[in-house]
């Protein structure tokens, strides 16, 4: 398993993967030495994340290899279908997966998403439009949704 640490506007991201694909991206506020060498298996992912944060990429084309249950993988695959700049509710996601009653299980699987940003769990919000639960912290979720918003808020001052 190859590992790289990269700087992002939201903290240091740790990427893990191998020739089969990217298995994990996590973010932290902890001090961490940024990788000076990016392993070949992680090069596409680091390049595409940099483009995303620079505003020049709105979808990812990376081989993914997350570890989870079959149900979690179904939820994560459904997350990949949420368009850039759009949000859905947990209820909407449950309906997409064919079981409205599975809303809690869908929310739990969403919270276990190991591929920060690339599998866009930040695009799932509460039915009332509220920013609910996000493993990376609600401040990061808000930043990501603002970053992806087609309407940029202008400052009055």
**What are the residue numbers of the active site?**
121
Sequence-distant (≥ 6) Cβ neighbours of residue 45 within 8 angstroms: 15, 17, 22, 25, 62, 118
| Integer angstrom CA distances of residue 98 from 48, 78, 102, 107, 150 | 32, 11, 9, 14, 29
Pairing mode, strands 88-89 and 21-28: unpaired
Among all chains, which residue has been given the structure tokens 């709105």?
58
């Amino acid at each position: 398993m190859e590992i790289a640490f990269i700087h992002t506007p939201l903290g240091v991201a740790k990427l893990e993967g191998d020739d089969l694909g990217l298995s994990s991206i996590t973010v932290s506020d902890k001090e961490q030495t940024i990788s000076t060498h990016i392993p070949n298996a992680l090069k596409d992912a680091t390049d595409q994340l940099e483009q995303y944060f620079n505003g020049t990429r709105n979808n990812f084309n990376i081989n993914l290899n997350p570890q989870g249950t079959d149900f979690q993988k179904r939820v994560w695959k459904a997350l990949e279908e949420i368009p850039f700049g759009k949000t859905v509710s947990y209820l909407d996601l449950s309906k997409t997966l064919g079981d409205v009653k599975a809303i809690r299980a869908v929310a739990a699987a969403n919270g276990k998403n190991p591929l920060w940003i690339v599998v866009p769990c930040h695009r799932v919000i509460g039915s009332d439009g509220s920013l609910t639960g996000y493993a990376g912290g609600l401040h990061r979720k808000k930043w990501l949704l603002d970053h992806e918003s087609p309407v940029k808020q202008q400052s009055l001052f």
